[in-house]
Amino acid sequence: EGELVNEEAKMQISFKVPLIERDLLVLGDSFYFGFTLQSFWQVYNRESSAPFRETSYQPEFFYTMPFGITREGRGAALRLGAEHQSNGQSNALSRSWNRVYTQFFYARENYLISLRPWYRLPEEKKDGPLDASGDDNPDIDDYMGYFELQAVVERRKYEYSLLLRNNLRGENHGAIELGVSFPLWGRVRGYAPYFNGYGESLIDYNYRSQRFGVGV
């Protein structure tokens, strides 16, 4: 295989589908199936025929319910979910994990804050590095952390976002992402993120990376 280059394209497609058409437990709640596909494409790497460095797949089921403050201009919600994430590779390149999570949302006027702690479902150890069954990445929690904090603020049609992850241990592994979203034309918006930390892609969850991008 050829060497990778620093410049590449990141693409993501996400959707969710409601699985019930009426309130389940409380007024305004719902149960969903969601799916996210994320790819890192070495589009500028002509010497290696512009390969896809990594593609990950993330199906999930989650339940969302409003609670607490529901006045005009503010609100809160609780989400309970279970998700799987993997890159579809085999042997030494295989990465995957399963987790259950709780997510709290609070929104008021022009900002939103969410906190999502999770628990990774344990897997059996591999007998060897080339064993098809067993845990592909037993230390992924040490780098991806145990929670994710997000905040978004809107001002004059611009949206500023913050994402934080941490493992709350001495190594202080985790990640920070800062982003700004801005209007282009119609419903199309531009987005400029800066990322520093671990776990932006699943294949290199245990390598620290720093990235800046511009896209739509």
Query: What are the residue numbers of the active site?
Result: 84, 86
Q: Read off φ and ψ for residue 154, nearest 5 degrees.
A: -110, 130
Q: How far is CA 116 from the centre of its chain?
A: 11
Do the bridges between strand 188-197 and strand 111-120 make them parallel or antiparallel, or are there none, so unpaired?
Answer: unpaired
Instruction: Using alpha carbons, select from 163, 158, 164 the residue that is nearest to residue 181.
Output: 158
What sections of 103-198 are H helices per DSSP? 140-144
One-letter amino acid at 125 equals K
Alpha-carbon span 178 to 163, nearest angstrom: 7
Give the three-state DSSP class for 63: strand
Cα–Cα nearest to 148, from 169, 160, 166: 166
